[in-house]
């Protein structure tokens, strides 16, 4: 945790999410979050459910500086945010004070994704786990975080688990930035160019088969999986040079192609939409 804290104490997460490639990631993710929320609202509104008037509750675990938490609170949802880095949490709470009304329905705690002591069993309809799995290296720790998300999510509710993909790192850091031979020399890559995780590295990179294995061990069922940014991280300079109309077309392209299986593994991130079994 010390390395993560040091990193985020000097890294401007707000600025990243407002960059063009960050906007793609955020807007595509929010598109699918909204679709899932609308689906839950329709199910709840069915006559035999009898709870259509209840406000949906969303957990944002690894909330960072609050980009998703603040947006979803503004939309009228109850949000429970958890963030391990005190610096990020301070910015999140500043946004709560400055960008939301006094009676805004949001709580925010400093908390580790592996032990969400502030949240009760089955408290949330949807749990966003969009950052913690980037930084947890061992399978044991990842499963702990998935199990905690599972615990705080209602039966039949949804968990959105975000990952950083290995092939993106190999292509971008290895080949584009010229570090491939050094990485091979250090033993950081397998013979088939999989990444050998090092506990000292900030990020842990996975392939789709790793995600499948985690789901099986955590007892979670996939609804679907998508890549929110896809190729956006490879083409940051190109995105920055686009006029607004072309950029909007690119966002539309990403939204409409985010689920295509042939584009998943090489995107910089994936979001796995999981159902908490009844």
Roughly what angle, to the nearest 10 degrees, separates helices 139-152 and 208-218?
Answer: 50
Q: Is the pLDDT of residue 49 over 60?
A: no
pLDDT tens-digit readout, 2-25: 466 665 655 566 677 789 999 999
pLDDT tens-digit readout, 137-160: 999 999 999 999 999 999 999 999
State the pLDDT at residue 54.
80
- The domain ranges of the chain are 2-45+116-275
d(CA 126, CA 53): 17
State the pLDDT at residue 198.
81
Q: Residue 217: exposed, middle, or buried by beta-carbon count in 10 A (0-12, 13-18, 19+)?
A: middle
pLDDT tens-digit readout, 209-253: 999 999 999 999 999 999 999 999 999 999 999 999 999 999 999
Contacts of 136 (CB under 8 A, 6+ apart): 113, 114, 142, 144, 145, 204
Percentage of the chain modeled with pLDDT above 90: 86
pLDDT tens-digit readout, 57-82: 999 999 999 999 999 999 999 999 99
Q: Is the pLDDT of residue 50 over 60?
A: no
pLDDT range class, residue 44, cuts 50, 70, 90: confident
Tell whether domain 2-45+116-275 is in CATH 3.30.450: no
Percentage of the chain modeled with pLDDT above 70: 92
Mean pLDDT (whole number) for 105-116 = 98
CB 270 within 8 A of CB 222: no
State the pLDDT at residue 2.
47
CB 135 within 8 A of CB 7: no
The percent helix, strand, coil of the chain (3-state, each to 5) is 50, 20, 35
Q: What is the mean pLDDT of the chain?
A: 93
């Amino acid at each position: 945790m010390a390395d993560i804290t040091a990193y985020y104490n000097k890294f401007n997460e707000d600025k990243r999410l407002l960059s063009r490639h960050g906007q793609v990631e955020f807007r595509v993710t929010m598109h699918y979050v909204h679709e899932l929320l609308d689906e839950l609202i329709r199910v709840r509104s069915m006559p035999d459910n009898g709870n259509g008037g209840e406000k949906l509750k969303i957990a944002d675990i690894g909330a960072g500086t609050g980009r998703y938490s603040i947006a979803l609170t503004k939309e009228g949802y109850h949000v429970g945010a958890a963030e391990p880095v005190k610096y990020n949490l301070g910015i999140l709470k500043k946004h709560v004070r400055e960008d939301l009304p006094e009676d805004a329905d949001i709580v925010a705690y400093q908390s580790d994704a592996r032990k969400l002591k502030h949240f009760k069993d089955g408290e949330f309809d949807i749990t966003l786990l969009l950052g913690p799995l980037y930084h947890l290296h061992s399978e044991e720790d990842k499963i702990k975080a998935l199990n905690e998300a599972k615990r705080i999510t209602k039966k039949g509710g949804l968990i959105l688990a975000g990952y950083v993909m290995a092939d993106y790192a190999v292509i971008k850091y290895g080949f584009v930035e010229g570090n491939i031979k050094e990485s091979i020399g250090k033993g950081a890559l397998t013979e088939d160019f999989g990444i050998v995780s090092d506990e000292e590295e900030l990020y842990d990179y996975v392939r789709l088969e790793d995600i499948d294995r985690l789901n099986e061990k955590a007892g979670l069922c996939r609804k679907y999986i998508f890549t929110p940014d896809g190729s956006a991280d490879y083409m940051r300079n190109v995105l920055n040079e686009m006029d607004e109309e072309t950029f909007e077309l690119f966002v539309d392209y990403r939204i409409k192609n985010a689920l295509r299986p042939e584009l998943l593994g090489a995107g910089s991130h994936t979001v796995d939409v999981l159902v908490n079994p009844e």
